[in-house]
């Protein structure tokens, strides 16, 4: 979820139907991104299928599931730039040559190819989310903006939050906090709940794991607490060998003890995103790390509860 040093908040294309943004997907019936049943709008750059990553482009990208390919060659025949080829491992894509004409997706019968990210207007997103309005109201749920970092596309995210509130939806913002405070402050006016990621409180450790220091993040967290404009849940991705020691967790719990967060959600590391990284042609940076056991995660939860903090695993 962290920002690449080359990215900045404020992107978003204005169109006749309102601001446009690049959305990775909209997950309906979500129960892990805030209270109740929710729709989670995943912004592009899209995640952060694992936790410690640098973000990719805000543009749409072609995903290639190489091992699904049956070698028929239909996609290769329609690829004018010659970006597709067959290899021993399956279908291969030259992303430099690819012009995203998407004819290959239409030609493929095996769902090998998929577009990751598409432009949507604010109205289009709200129309999709409105399909589950009854579930939101009956469960105390709503709509969560996640990603990627939603506030990288600041104009789009702010208009979406504003319009959701105008229509009576409960709103949540999942953020890494690596954005200008002015942008985050504007979002608070239309946000009921902030899910704030804390990956590491040591600046150098944070830089080693994410590519950027955490000075702005921690400053924004303090300002967020002082503003008292929204409910706050702290989310801590727990990465083996990075931030899972008892000593560090004691220090983090002590740091959070005096803050106004309602709860601390501990997110155990997993490798569910490995295949997605491969399909986007990127190296999976955390290969070799083992997922946390339930017993270990329970021990860490105990550290936070001993400090009087409401801590849970996952949600």
CATH number of 13-58+117-313: 3.20.20.70
Residue matched to tokens 């432009």: 119
In 100-170, which ranges are E strands? 113-116, 118-121, 142-146
Per-residue pLDDT 10s for the chain (315 aa) are 332 322 334 445 554 345 888 888 899 999 989 999 999 999 876 443 333 333 344 566 788 887 788 899 999 999 999 999 998 878 888 988 998 888 998 999 988 888 777 889 999 999 999 999 999 999 999 999 998 799 999 999 999 999 999 999 999 999 999 999 999 999 999 999 999 999 999 999 999 888 889 999 999 999 999 999 999 999 999 988 889 999 999 999 999 998 888 999 999 875 555 556 555 555 656 556 677 888 999 999 999 999 999 999 987
Q: H-helix or E-strand containing 97?
A: none
- pLDDT on residue 88: 82
- pLDDT on residue 50: 34
- pLDDT on residue 314: 81
- pLDDT on residue 280: 58
DSSP string, 36-60: SSEEEEEESSP--SSSS-B---SS-
Q: H-helix or E-strand containing 250?
A: helix 246-257
Residue 37 CA to residue 31 CA, distance in Å, equals 5
**Cis peptide bond prior to 105, omega within 30° of 0:** no
Whole-structure pTM over 0.85, yes or no? no
Residue 237 CA to residue 270 CA, distance in Å, equals 10
Residue matched to tokens 């830089």: 207
DSSP string, 4-47: PTT--S---EEETTEEEEEEEEEEEEE-SSSSSSEEEEEESSP-
What are the boundaries of each domain within the chain? 13-58+117-313, 61-115
Q: What is the b/e burial string over 94-111, where b = at least 16 CB atoms within 10 angstroms of the residue's CB? A: eeeebeeeeebbebbeee
Which stretches within 151-214 are classed as H helix? 154-166, 181-188, 203-210
Residue matched to tokens 């303090």: 222
> Which value, in Å, is the radius of gyration of the alpha carbons in the chain?
20
CATH number of 61-115: 3.30.70.20
């Amino acid at each position: 979820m962290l920002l690449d040093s080359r990215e900045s908040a404020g992107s978003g294309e204005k169109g006749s139907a309102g601001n446009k943004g690049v959305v990775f997907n909209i997950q309906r019936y979500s129960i892990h991104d805030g209270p109740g049943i929710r729709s989670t709008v995943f912004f592009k750059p899209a995640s952060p299928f694992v936790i410690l990553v640098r973000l990719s482009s805000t543009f749409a990208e072609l995903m290639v599931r190489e091992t699904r390919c049956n070698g028929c060659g239909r996609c290769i025949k329609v690829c004018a730039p010659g970006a597709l080829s067959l290899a021993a491992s399956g279908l291969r894509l030259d992303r430099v040559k690819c012009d995203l004409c998407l004819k290959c997706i239409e030609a493929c019968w095996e769902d090998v190819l998929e577009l990751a990210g598409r432009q949507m207007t604010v109205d289009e997103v709200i129309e999709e989310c409105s399909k589950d309005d009854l579930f939101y109201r009956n469960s105390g749920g709503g709509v969560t903006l996640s990603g990627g970092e939603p506030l990288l596309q600041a104009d789009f995210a702010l208009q979406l939050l504003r319009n959701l509130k105008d229509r009576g939806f409960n709103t949540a913002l999942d953020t890494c906090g690596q954005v200008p405070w002015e942008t985050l402050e504007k979002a608070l006016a239309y946000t009921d709940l902030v899910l704030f990621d804390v990956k590491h409180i040591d600046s150098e450790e944070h830089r080693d794991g994410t590519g950027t220091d955490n000075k702005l993040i921690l400053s924004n967290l303090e300002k967020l607490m002082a503003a008292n404009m929204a409910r706050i849940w702290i989310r801590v991705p727990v990465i083996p060998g990075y931030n899972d020691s008892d000593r560090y967790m004691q220090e983090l719990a002590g740091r959070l003890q005096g803050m106004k967060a309602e709860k601390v959600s501990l997110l155990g590391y997993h490798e569910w995103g490995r295949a997605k990284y491969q399909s986007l042609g990127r190296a999976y940076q955390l290969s070799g790390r083992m997922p946390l056991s339930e017993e270990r995660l329970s021990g860490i939860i105990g550290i936070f509860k001993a400090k009087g903090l409401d801590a849970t695993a996952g949600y």
